[in-house]
């Protein structure tokens, strides 16, 4: 005869676990705060700059061409990403390690998350190229057709999802609850960024298609 599950006990244990994880995070640590600020700043920065470029072509004018402007922005975004990752690692050094996360299964999940995350990021960069990855459409550098092969056949936003998985993996491997908090912030900022990026990108390609259709009808 099967035993009944004590859902009340499970709920209490779950609440205790979350409570212990949250209590292990030192939100007063300046490096953790800097890390969270950097996580928020990066997508805000590249969306503002990309919109300015689309409306004014200021980077195209400064660098002399749309491609040069896109490559310049790519270098800036990539550098900011390195800074964000460095600050994340500095923040974790000062944070408490949780025994609740020092579980062999979670360690394995952590390594799997990093591996999958990097596969998604690198394969999406390979498929899109530099200009496709780093907002080339805002510079008028549009792809002929939508990419539907891997990793885009398993993920709508492999770059963002892969990055989030990498943050998650590092947090689990190091058993740092603070890392999980940063991971949630990363996912939140990407979700917010997509609310602005996806409709605008759709608009850019719709405008391109409209112009091409007008030319065909002339």
Which stretch of DSSP H or E encloses residue 56? helix 30-56
Q: Enter the pTM of the model.
A: 0.89
Domain layout of the chain by residue ranges: 27-199
Q: Which residues contact 22 (CB under 8 A, 6 or more apart)?
A: 177
Q: Is 115 annotated as a binding residue?
A: yes
Q: Is 197 annotated as a binding residue?
A: yes
Q: Is 120 annotated as a binding residue?
A: no
Alpha carbons within 13 angstroms on the beta-carbon side of residue 82 total: 5
Cis omega (within 30 of 0) for bond into 29: no
pLDDT of residue 22: 86
pLDDT of residue 8: 63
* Both tokens assigned to 191: 């979700």
Q: Is 116 annotated as a binding residue?
A: yes
Q: Which residues contact 178 (CB under 8 A, 6 or more apart)?
A: 24, 25, 26, 29, 32, 91, 92, 95, 96, 171
Across the chain, which has 218 residues, the per-10-residue mean pLDDT values are 56 66 91 97 97 97 97 98 97 94 95 98 96 95 88 93 97 96 97 94 88 74
């Amino acid at each position: 005869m099967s035993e009944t599950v004590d859902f009340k006990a499970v709920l209490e244990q779950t609440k205790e676990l979350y409570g212990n994880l949250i209590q292990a995070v030192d939100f007063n640590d300046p490096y953790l705060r800097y890390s969270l600020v950097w996580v928020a700043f990066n997508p805000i920065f590249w969306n503002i700059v990309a919109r300015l470029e689309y409306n004014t072509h200021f980077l195209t004018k400064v660098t002399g061409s749309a491609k040069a402007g896109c490559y310049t922005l790519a270098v800036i975004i990539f550098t900011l990403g390195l800074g964000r990752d460095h600050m994340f690692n500095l923040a974790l050094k000062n944070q408490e390690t949780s025994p609740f996360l020092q579980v062999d299964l979670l360690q394995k999940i952590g390594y799997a998350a990093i591996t999958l995350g990097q596969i998604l990021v690198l394969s999406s960069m390979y498929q899109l190229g530099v200009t496709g990855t780093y907002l080339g459409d805002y510079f008028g550098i549009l792809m002929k057709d939508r990419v539907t092969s891997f990793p885009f056949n398993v993920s709508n936003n492999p770059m963002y999802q892969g990055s989030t998985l990498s943050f998650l993996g590092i947090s689990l491997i190091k058993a740092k609850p603070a890392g999980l908090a940063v991971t949630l912030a990363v996912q939140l900022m990407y979700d917010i960024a997509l609310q602005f990026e996806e409709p605008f990108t759709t608009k850019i390609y719709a405008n391109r298609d409209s112009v091409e259709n007008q030319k065909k009808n002339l």
